[in-house]
Structure 1
């Protein structure tokens, strides 16, 4: 699929490092232009893309073809010696899943998940993703869960759903042991959107069992969002509790930044 001009942002470095980065936002649907520019300033060729809600795309994160990401990784591969996929939240889910079916040199997953989740469109529930035209196995949501705060913190919903649908979650596990490249996970211990810290532990365990090393950078007081050095705090998106604070999220960004630059092979 050819992305419309409005659905992509291409950042080209002055002094290329040889690494191409496919940059994916989460449920906000935004194009990460600021982050793309930051990475390009350190030598990366970056393609930041909108992956739902754009021209000819699925309107919401529901049955989005994994091939969409594979295709644009291949585009970067034509220009670069190395390719890395960098995603946040639902974008991290996409990044990890894509890397199990398409060779990459690295994955950077901010607020990751270890399983594929359900998405809904026009009242129909299915997987966030499809592969070869078929929905990828997914974990449903606990229909009895109710939020106990306003704005709602959905961390409990995800935890409850994993317990209630344990067998489905096992089938929906992302096979991270298939990822050939390096995996960097960035997590906040106060993530109130979903339990990314627990998900990260599951990813590490699965890869360790396969003899693979995973790097995890965390901060106990950071939330769902990451603030890298030089970035402005993001706003908007679905109304919910995300946890953390601007200070803690920025401290997580400072801790993660050297590892991010290492994975992308910066100048």
Structure 2
């Protein structure tokens, strides 16, 4: 919570495929006058108790209960709720905004435009990540072709990072923004800010974000949408100061394998700093001024 009695606008913060919580982001927002709730929805490698271990069939009703809880808190303005998500959390942020009209602004960083499959130990499974009203949501299956597998194996034995982008591209290349697995972003009851790196090697977040913008334009969505695309920047493009003594995350060791996130350290750092200012400006416009802004330019 920020200083003062409020009531304060509040942002719900959702981490990505590693699970757990991004508490530093909630603290950072609180220092700028917003209540921040960093919410775990599966534990992943974090070891958080009372959460599902894996990102498999997480009920969206869980988040509805969180919204109701926020609205009941003293010092919170229950009419001014934003959601900020990263990677799989960016996918979820779009999905929650499209499902629950109580959410009045969405910041989606390195998102997917589609519902992706569930994860167990960060590996895709043949189950949906989400359910709603007791039913799994339709999802996209990754498609690994033989040459991709052999290329990644060659990188693995040389201990070089490999990209997962090709499998996501091939999984969605025959789909469009109206497929049943596409997130119905036109149902979001507020403005959107999409933030991507143009060198994202984990999945094609720039392509996904452009699909979101296309779908919103096609539906004549009455709220603003702004798409920020950063050159030579990879998957982790948002929120500075999380790991102040370490360089930006360009790759991840997953057991003996190295997964590439893309980007270059200096460009990544500058994009994180710039996107933080963009997030603050967006929240100020969305939660403190008129929600129905229409003058933002969605172009990269």
TM-score by length of 2: 0.78
Q: Does 1:156 align with 2:175?
A: no
Runs (5+) with no aligned partner, structure 2 = 289-300
Q: CA deviation at 1:188?
A: 0.2
Counterpart contact for 1:115–1:169, Cα < 8 Å? no
Counterpart contact for 1:86–1:92, Cα < 8 Å? yes
* Pairing 1:204-215 to 2, within 5 Å after superposition: 204-212=213-221, 213-215=224-226
2:94 paired residue number: 96
Larger Cα-atom Rg: 2
Q: CA deviation at 1:264?
A: 2.5
Distance (Å, rounded) in 1 between the aligned partners of 2:131 and 2:61: 8
Q: Does 1:49 align with 2:50?
A: no
1:63 paired residue number: 57
Q: CA deviation at 1:169?
A: 8.3
Q: CA deviation at 1:237?
A: 7.1
Q: CA deviation at 1:248?
A: 1.4
Q: CA deviation at 1:167?
A: 7.9
Runs (5+) with no aligned partner, structure 1 = 1-11
1:226 paired residue number: 237
- DSSP 3-state at the match of 1:26: coil
Distance (Å, rounded) in 2 between the aligned partners of 1:93 and 1:121: 17
Q: Does 1:262 align with 2:285?
A: no
Q: CA deviation at 1:19?
A: 1.0
**Greater shift after overlay, 38-47 or 205-214?**
205-214
Counterpart contact for 2:238–2:275, Cα < 8 Å? no
TM-score by length of 1: 0.87
* Pairing 1:1-267 to 2, within 5 Å after superposition: 12-15=1-4, 16=6, 18-53=8-43, 54-78=48-72, 79-80=76-77, 81-103=79-101, 104-121=103-120, 125-144=126-145, 145-146=148-149, 147-148=151-152, 149=155, 150-163=160-173, 166=175, 170-212=179-221, 213-232=224-243, 233=247, 238=254, 239-265=258-284
Q: CA deviation at 1:62?
A: 1.1
Q: How many residues end up aligned between the 2 structures?
A: 255
Higher relative contact order (CA 8 A, sep 6+): 1
**Greater shift after overlay, 35-44 or 49-58?**
49-58
